[in-house]
Structure 1
Amino acid sequence: MPAPTLHLLHGIVGSGKTTFARRLERDLPAVRFSPDEWMVALHGVNPPEVLFRDQAARIETLVWEHAGRILRAGVDVVYEGGFWTRASRDDARRRAREWGVECRLYSLRCPVEVARRRALARTANMPDGALEISGPTFDLLLQRFEPLGPDEPCTVVETGGL
Protein backbone atom coordinates (compact mmCIF):
# COMPACT_ATOMS: atom_id res chain seq x y z
CA MET A 1 0.00 0.00 0.00
CA PRO A 2 1.53 3.37 -1.01
CA ALA A 3 2.12 6.04 1.61
CA PRO A 4 -0.69 8.56 1.91
CA THR A 5 -0.15 11.99 0.41
CA LEU A 6 -0.55 15.49 1.78
CA HIS A 7 -1.84 17.58 -1.14
CA LEU A 8 -1.13 21.32 -0.77
CA LEU A 9 -2.85 23.96 -2.89
CA HIS A 10 -0.96 27.18 -3.62
CA GLY A 11 -2.80 29.99 -5.34
CA ILE A 12 -4.16 33.49 -4.95
CA VAL A 13 -7.71 34.27 -3.83
CA GLY A 14 -10.04 33.30 -6.67
CA SER A 15 -7.56 30.99 -8.40
CA GLY A 16 -9.85 27.97 -8.06
CA LYS A 17 -8.41 26.27 -4.99
CA THR A 18 -11.74 25.18 -3.55
CA THR A 19 -13.04 23.88 -6.88
CA PHE A 20 -9.84 21.92 -7.47
CA ALA A 21 -9.71 20.70 -3.84
CA ARG A 22 -13.24 19.35 -4.07
CA ARG A 23 -12.33 17.54 -7.27
CA LEU A 24 -9.28 15.96 -5.61
CA GLU A 25 -11.33 15.07 -2.53
CA ARG A 26 -13.80 13.20 -4.73
CA ASP A 27 -11.40 11.62 -7.21
CA LEU A 28 -8.57 10.42 -4.95
CA PRO A 29 -10.48 10.03 -2.48
CA ALA A 30 -9.16 12.23 0.32
CA VAL A 31 -10.23 14.28 3.32
CA ARG A 32 -10.32 17.99 2.45
CA PHE A 33 -9.52 20.80 4.86
CA SER A 34 -10.55 24.38 4.13
CA PRO A 35 -9.57 26.86 6.86
CA ASP A 36 -11.92 29.42 5.28
CA GLU A 37 -14.89 27.09 5.78
CA TRP A 38 -13.94 26.60 9.44
CA MET A 39 -13.57 30.37 9.93
CA VAL A 40 -16.99 31.04 8.39
CA ALA A 41 -18.62 28.29 10.47
CA LEU A 42 -17.16 29.75 13.66
CA HIS A 43 -17.19 33.52 13.02
CA GLY A 44 -19.24 34.34 9.92
CA VAL A 45 -18.29 35.60 6.49
CA ASN A 46 -16.59 38.82 7.61
CA PRO A 47 -14.88 38.41 10.99
CA PRO A 48 -13.11 41.53 12.32
CA GLU A 49 -9.39 41.57 11.52
CA VAL A 50 -8.43 41.61 15.21
CA LEU A 51 -10.35 38.34 15.65
CA PHE A 52 -9.35 36.89 12.29
CA ARG A 53 -5.59 36.70 12.90
CA ASP A 54 -5.88 34.90 16.24
CA GLN A 55 -8.61 32.55 15.08
CA ALA A 56 -6.83 31.75 11.81
CA ALA A 57 -3.79 30.61 13.81
CA ARG A 58 -5.97 28.45 16.08
CA ILE A 59 -7.78 26.93 13.12
CA GLU A 60 -4.47 26.16 11.43
CA THR A 61 -3.28 24.35 14.56
CA LEU A 62 -6.46 22.26 14.65
CA VAL A 63 -6.29 21.48 10.94
CA TRP A 64 -2.69 20.27 11.25
CA GLU A 65 -3.58 18.09 14.25
CA HIS A 66 -6.44 16.44 12.38
CA ALA A 67 -4.56 16.21 9.09
CA GLY A 68 -1.69 14.42 10.83
CA ARG A 69 -4.02 11.87 12.40
CA ILE A 70 -5.77 11.22 9.11
CA LEU A 71 -2.51 10.86 7.17
CA ARG A 72 -1.07 8.51 9.80
CA ALA A 73 -4.24 6.43 9.42
CA GLY A 74 -3.36 6.00 5.74
CA VAL A 75 -5.77 8.46 4.13
CA ASP A 76 -4.80 11.29 1.75
CA VAL A 77 -5.43 14.87 2.86
CA VAL A 78 -6.11 17.90 0.65
CA TYR A 79 -5.25 21.15 2.43
CA GLU A 80 -6.50 24.21 0.57
CA GLY A 81 -4.89 26.80 2.80
CA GLY A 82 -3.27 28.72 -0.04
CA PHE A 83 0.28 28.37 1.29
CA TRP A 84 1.09 31.93 0.29
CA THR A 85 4.46 32.07 2.04
CA ARG A 86 7.59 30.03 1.57
CA ALA A 87 7.70 29.51 5.34
CA SER A 88 4.22 27.93 5.34
CA ARG A 89 5.17 25.61 2.48
CA ASP A 90 8.44 24.62 4.15
CA ASP A 91 6.53 23.91 7.36
CA ALA A 92 4.04 21.70 5.52
CA ARG A 93 6.82 19.75 3.80
CA ARG A 94 8.57 19.30 7.16
CA ARG A 95 5.39 17.91 8.71
CA ALA A 96 4.95 15.48 5.82
CA ARG A 97 8.52 14.22 6.30
CA GLU A 98 8.00 13.81 10.04
CA TRP A 99 4.78 11.88 9.45
CA GLY A 100 6.41 9.68 6.80
CA VAL A 101 3.97 10.68 4.07
CA GLU A 102 4.31 12.04 0.56
CA CYS A 103 3.78 15.74 -0.09
CA ARG A 104 2.49 17.10 -3.39
CA LEU A 105 2.26 20.81 -4.09
CA TYR A 106 -0.14 22.13 -6.72
CA SER A 107 0.29 25.62 -8.14
CA LEU A 108 -3.10 26.92 -9.26
CA ARG A 109 -2.61 29.62 -11.84
CA CYS A 110 -4.90 32.01 -13.63
CA PRO A 111 -4.70 35.65 -14.67
CA VAL A 112 -5.02 38.05 -11.73
CA GLU A 113 -8.05 39.76 -13.28
CA VAL A 114 -9.83 36.40 -13.64
CA ALA A 115 -9.11 35.65 -9.97
CA ARG A 116 -10.30 39.11 -8.92
CA ARG A 117 -13.52 38.75 -10.92
CA ARG A 118 -14.18 35.31 -9.37
CA ALA A 119 -13.48 36.52 -5.83
CA LEU A 120 -15.80 39.52 -6.16
CA ALA A 121 -18.53 37.40 -7.81
CA ARG A 122 -18.23 34.84 -5.02
CA THR A 123 -18.66 37.61 -2.45
CA ALA A 124 -21.74 38.88 -4.30
CA ASN A 125 -23.29 35.38 -4.23
CA MET A 126 -21.79 34.20 -0.89
CA PRO A 127 -21.78 30.43 -1.29
CA ASP A 128 -21.49 28.34 1.88
CA GLY A 129 -18.05 28.47 3.47
CA ALA A 130 -16.82 31.54 1.58
CA LEU A 131 -15.25 34.54 3.27
CA GLU A 132 -16.26 38.01 2.11
CA ILE A 133 -13.56 39.54 -0.12
CA SER A 134 -13.80 43.16 -1.29
CA GLY A 135 -11.69 44.71 -4.04
CA PRO A 136 -9.33 46.42 -1.53
CA THR A 137 -9.03 43.17 0.46
CA PHE A 138 -8.17 41.27 -2.72
CA ASP A 139 -5.43 43.82 -3.49
CA LEU A 140 -4.03 43.60 0.04
CA LEU A 141 -3.98 39.79 -0.01
CA LEU A 142 -2.36 39.76 -3.44
CA GLN A 143 0.56 41.78 -2.00
CA ARG A 144 1.09 39.07 0.65
CA PHE A 145 1.29 36.25 -1.91
CA GLU A 146 4.75 34.74 -2.44
CA PRO A 147 5.30 32.91 -5.74
CA LEU A 148 6.90 29.49 -5.64
CA GLY A 149 10.67 29.38 -5.77
CA PRO A 150 12.50 27.58 -8.58
CA ASP A 151 13.51 24.90 -6.05
CA GLU A 152 9.89 24.08 -5.14
CA PRO A 153 8.66 21.21 -7.31
CA CYS A 154 4.97 21.43 -8.07
CA THR A 155 2.19 20.33 -10.36
CA VAL A 156 0.97 23.36 -12.30
CA VAL A 157 -2.80 23.54 -12.70
CA GLU A 158 -4.05 26.19 -15.13
CA THR A 159 -7.41 27.30 -13.74
CA GLY A 160 -8.33 30.16 -16.05
CA GLY A 161 -11.06 27.99 -17.56
CA LEU A 162 -12.55 26.58 -14.35
Structure 2
Amino acid sequence: MTRTRRPTVHLLCGYAASGKTTVARRLSADIGAVRFTLDEWMLSLYDWVPDDPEYGPAAERAKELIWSVASQCLGLGLDVVLDWSQWSRERRKAWSSRATDASANVVIHYLEVPLDEALRRLAARNLERPPGTHQLGIDEARSFFEEYFEPPHINEGLELVIERVT
Protein backbone atom coordinates (compact mmCIF):
# COMPACT_ATOMS: atom_id res chain seq x y z
CA MET A 1 0.00 0.00 0.00
CA THR A 2 1.38 3.40 -1.00
CA ARG A 3 0.39 6.41 1.07
CA THR A 4 -0.38 9.53 -0.90
CA ARG A 5 -0.45 11.98 1.99
CA ARG A 6 1.33 12.55 5.25
CA PRO A 7 -0.71 12.20 8.43
CA THR A 8 -1.34 15.29 10.54
CA VAL A 9 -0.92 15.97 14.24
CA HIS A 10 -3.50 18.48 15.43
CA LEU A 11 -2.35 20.43 18.49
CA LEU A 12 -4.75 22.55 20.53
CA CYS A 13 -4.05 25.85 22.21
CA GLY A 14 -6.40 27.80 24.43
CA TYR A 15 -7.40 28.67 27.94
CA ALA A 16 -9.16 26.18 30.19
CA ALA A 17 -12.83 25.89 29.11
CA SER A 18 -12.16 27.55 25.75
CA GLY A 19 -13.53 24.53 23.88
CA LYS A 20 -10.42 22.49 23.09
CA THR A 21 -12.07 19.12 23.70
CA THR A 22 -15.11 20.16 21.67
CA VAL A 23 -12.81 20.97 18.75
CA ALA A 24 -10.88 17.72 19.31
CA ARG A 25 -14.12 15.72 19.14
CA ARG A 26 -15.19 17.58 16.02
CA LEU A 27 -11.86 16.91 14.31
CA SER A 28 -12.06 13.27 15.24
CA ALA A 29 -15.57 12.96 13.79
CA ASP A 30 -15.01 15.11 10.70
CA ILE A 31 -11.65 13.79 9.51
CA GLY A 32 -11.38 10.46 11.30
CA ALA A 33 -8.48 11.54 13.51
CA VAL A 34 -7.65 9.54 16.62
CA ARG A 35 -8.29 11.76 19.64
CA PHE A 36 -6.15 11.67 22.78
CA THR A 37 -7.65 13.83 25.54
CA LEU A 38 -5.20 14.13 28.44
CA ASP A 39 -7.86 15.10 31.02
CA GLU A 40 -9.82 11.92 30.28
CA TRP A 41 -6.70 9.79 30.64
CA MET A 42 -5.69 11.49 33.88
CA LEU A 43 -9.15 11.17 35.40
CA SER A 44 -9.27 7.51 34.42
CA LEU A 45 -5.87 6.80 35.94
CA TYR A 46 -5.80 9.11 38.98
CA ASP A 47 -8.17 10.94 41.27
CA TRP A 48 -6.11 14.12 41.34
CA VAL A 49 -6.70 17.72 40.39
CA PRO A 50 -4.03 19.64 38.47
CA ASP A 51 -2.72 21.46 41.55
CA ASP A 52 -1.91 18.18 43.35
CA PRO A 53 1.89 17.78 43.58
CA GLU A 54 1.76 14.35 41.90
CA TYR A 55 -0.28 15.60 38.95
CA GLY A 56 2.45 17.27 36.87
CA PRO A 57 4.87 14.32 36.76
CA ALA A 58 1.99 11.88 36.20
CA ALA A 59 0.61 14.02 33.36
CA GLU A 60 4.03 14.02 31.69
CA ARG A 61 4.15 10.20 31.94
CA ALA A 62 0.63 10.00 30.51
CA LYS A 63 1.65 12.24 27.59
CA GLU A 64 4.59 9.94 26.87
CA LEU A 65 2.25 6.93 26.87
CA ILE A 66 -0.21 8.79 24.65
CA TRP A 67 2.62 9.69 22.27
CA SER A 68 3.74 6.07 22.06
CA VAL A 69 0.26 5.15 20.80
CA ALA A 70 -0.20 8.31 18.71
CA SER A 71 3.10 7.75 16.89
CA GLN A 72 1.95 4.23 15.99
CA CYS A 73 -1.24 5.74 14.57
CA LEU A 74 0.83 8.20 12.53
CA GLY A 75 2.91 5.30 11.23
CA LEU A 76 -0.33 3.77 9.95
CA GLY A 77 -1.18 7.03 8.18
CA LEU A 78 -3.83 8.14 10.69
CA ASP A 79 -4.24 11.73 11.82
CA VAL A 80 -4.14 12.34 15.56
CA VAL A 81 -5.40 15.06 17.88
CA LEU A 82 -3.39 15.77 21.01
CA ASP A 83 -5.99 17.36 23.26
CA TRP A 84 -4.13 19.33 25.87
CA SER A 85 -3.22 22.98 25.77
CA GLN A 86 -0.07 23.97 23.96
CA TRP A 87 -0.05 27.20 26.00
CA SER A 88 3.59 28.15 25.41
CA ARG A 89 5.88 28.51 22.40
CA GLU A 90 8.24 26.02 24.02
CA ARG A 91 5.53 23.33 24.31
CA ARG A 92 4.34 23.92 20.75
CA LYS A 93 7.90 23.64 19.47
CA ALA A 94 8.53 20.41 21.40
CA TRP A 95 5.34 18.67 20.25
CA SER A 96 5.55 19.93 16.69
CA SER A 97 9.15 18.65 16.54
CA ARG A 98 7.97 15.21 17.64
CA ALA A 99 5.32 15.28 14.94
CA THR A 100 7.71 16.31 12.18
CA ASP A 101 10.23 13.71 13.37
CA ALA A 102 7.41 11.18 12.84
CA SER A 103 6.98 12.50 9.27
CA ALA A 104 3.66 14.16 10.09
CA ASN A 105 2.26 17.57 9.27
CA VAL A 106 1.36 19.83 12.19
CA VAL A 107 -1.63 22.11 12.63
CA ILE A 108 -2.17 24.33 15.68
CA HIS A 109 -5.82 25.03 16.45
CA TYR A 110 -5.97 28.18 18.58
CA LEU A 111 -9.22 28.80 20.39
CA GLU A 112 -9.14 32.54 20.76
CA VAL A 113 -11.40 33.60 23.60
CA PRO A 114 -11.09 36.54 25.98
CA LEU A 115 -9.73 35.43 29.35
CA ASP A 116 -12.77 36.71 31.25
CA GLU A 117 -15.08 34.71 28.99
CA ALA A 118 -12.97 31.58 29.43
CA LEU A 119 -13.10 32.02 33.21
CA ARG A 120 -16.89 32.52 33.08
CA ARG A 121 -17.16 29.28 31.09
CA LEU A 122 -14.81 27.56 33.53
CA ALA A 123 -16.99 28.60 36.48
CA ALA A 124 -20.05 27.17 34.72
CA ARG A 125 -18.17 23.97 33.89
CA ASN A 126 -17.06 23.65 37.52
CA LEU A 127 -20.73 23.67 38.55
CA GLU A 128 -21.78 21.15 35.89
CA ARG A 129 -18.72 18.87 36.15
CA PRO A 130 -19.18 17.11 32.81
CA PRO A 131 -17.39 13.74 32.56
CA GLY A 132 -13.72 14.00 31.62
CA THR A 133 -13.19 17.49 33.05
CA HIS A 134 -11.24 18.77 36.02
CA GLN A 135 -12.54 21.30 38.48
CA LEU A 136 -10.13 24.22 38.43
CA GLY A 137 -9.94 27.23 40.70
CA ILE A 138 -10.91 30.43 38.91
CA ASP A 139 -8.34 32.66 40.62
CA GLU A 140 -5.57 30.11 40.10
CA ALA A 141 -6.50 29.71 36.43
CA ARG A 142 -6.51 33.48 35.92
CA SER A 143 -3.09 33.87 37.56
CA PHE A 144 -1.60 30.98 35.59
CA PHE A 145 -2.82 32.20 32.23
CA GLU A 146 -1.96 35.85 32.87
CA GLU A 147 1.58 34.81 33.75
CA TYR A 148 2.31 31.93 31.36
CA PHE A 149 -0.06 31.82 28.38
CA GLU A 150 1.56 32.69 25.05
CA PRO A 151 -0.88 32.88 22.13
CA PRO A 152 0.48 31.17 19.03
CA HIS A 153 1.70 33.29 16.15
CA ILE A 154 2.24 32.50 12.49
CA ASN A 155 5.94 33.39 12.92
CA GLU A 156 6.35 30.11 14.84
CA GLY A 157 6.41 28.43 11.43
CA LEU A 158 3.40 26.19 12.00
CA GLU A 159 0.09 26.03 10.21
CA LEU A 160 -2.28 27.99 12.44
CA VAL A 161 -6.06 27.72 12.48
CA ILE A 162 -7.69 30.40 14.65
CA GLU A 163 -11.15 29.67 15.99
CA ARG A 164 -12.63 32.74 17.61
CA VAL A 165 -14.89 31.78 20.51
CA THR A 166 -17.43 34.28 21.81
Q: TM-score, normalised by structure 2?
A: 0.90
What residue is the counterpart of 1:41 in the other structure?
Answer: 44
Gaps of 5+ in 1: none
2:14 aligned with 1:11 = yes
Q: How far is the alpha carbon of 1:148 from its aligned partner?
A: 1.7
Q: Distance in 2 between the 1:156 and 1:116 partners? A: 19
2:27 aligned with 1:21 = no
Q: Distance in 2 between the 1:117 and 1:45 partners? A: 23
AA matched with 1:156: I
Given the alignment, which residue of 144, 150, 165 partners 1:146? 150
Kept in 2, the 8 Å contact 1:21–1:80? The answer is: yes
2:59 aligned with 1:56 = yes
2:140 aligned with 1:137 = yes
Kept in 2, the 8 Å contact 1:45–1:130? The answer is: no
Cα RMSD over matched residues?
A: 1.5
What residue is the counterpart of 1:73 in the other structure?
Answer: 76
After the TM superposition, which segments of 4 or more aligned residues of structure 1 sit over 6 Å from their partners?
Answer: none
What residue is the counterpart of 1:158 in the other structure?
Answer: 164
AA matched with 1:147: P
Gaps of 5+ in 2: none
AA matched with 2:149: F
Change (3 A) 1:47 1:12: closer
Report the more deviating stretch, 26-35 or 40-49: 40-49
Deviations 1:100-126 (A, max 9, x none): 111111111111111111111111111
Aligned length: 160
Q: TM-score, normalised by structure 1?
A: 0.92
